[in-house]
């Protein structure tokens, strides 16, 4: 993830796991800076999770990410988001 401080990401992940939709959105922003396929998928996943929690910014970002992705990549991101939400009973 480029120059991002891993300890800050760990803190955001803990907050995201606790249901903090702003943290979920911010994780999406971090991954959105990645240019590889896994970064696109992770960004879409986290924007999807935050959008499902009601974050309107995440809905916009998720759509913008989708425009850069193949249908297979979007499907993978959606699958991962669903798995994350099911694991946390969201």
Rounded to 5 degrees, what angle do the CA atoms 62, 55, 36 make?
30
Domain boundaries of the chain, sorted by first residue = 6-87
d(CA 43, CA 28): 4
pTM over 0.85: yes
Could you read off the pLDDT of 31-43 as tens digits, one per residue? 999 878 999 999 9
Profile the chain (90 residues) by mean pLDDT over runs of 10 residues: 73 94 96 90 97 96 95 97 89
- Residue 90 in 3-state DSSP? coil
d(CA 24, CA 45): 9
d(CA 88, CA 71): 26
**Are 59 and 53 a contacting pair, CB within 8 Å?**
no
């Amino acid at each position: 993830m480029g120059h991002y401080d891993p300890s800050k990401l760990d803190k955001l992940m803990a907050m995201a796991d606790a249901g903090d939709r702003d943290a979920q959105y911010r994780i999406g922003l971090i991954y959105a800076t990645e240019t590889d396929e896994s970064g696109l998928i992770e960004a879409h996943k986290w924007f999807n999770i935050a959008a499902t929690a009601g974050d309107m910014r995440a809905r916009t970002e998720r759509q913008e990410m989708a425009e850069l992705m193949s249908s297979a990549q979007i499907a993978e991101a959606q699958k991962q988001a669903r798995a994350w939400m099911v694991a946390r009973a969201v």
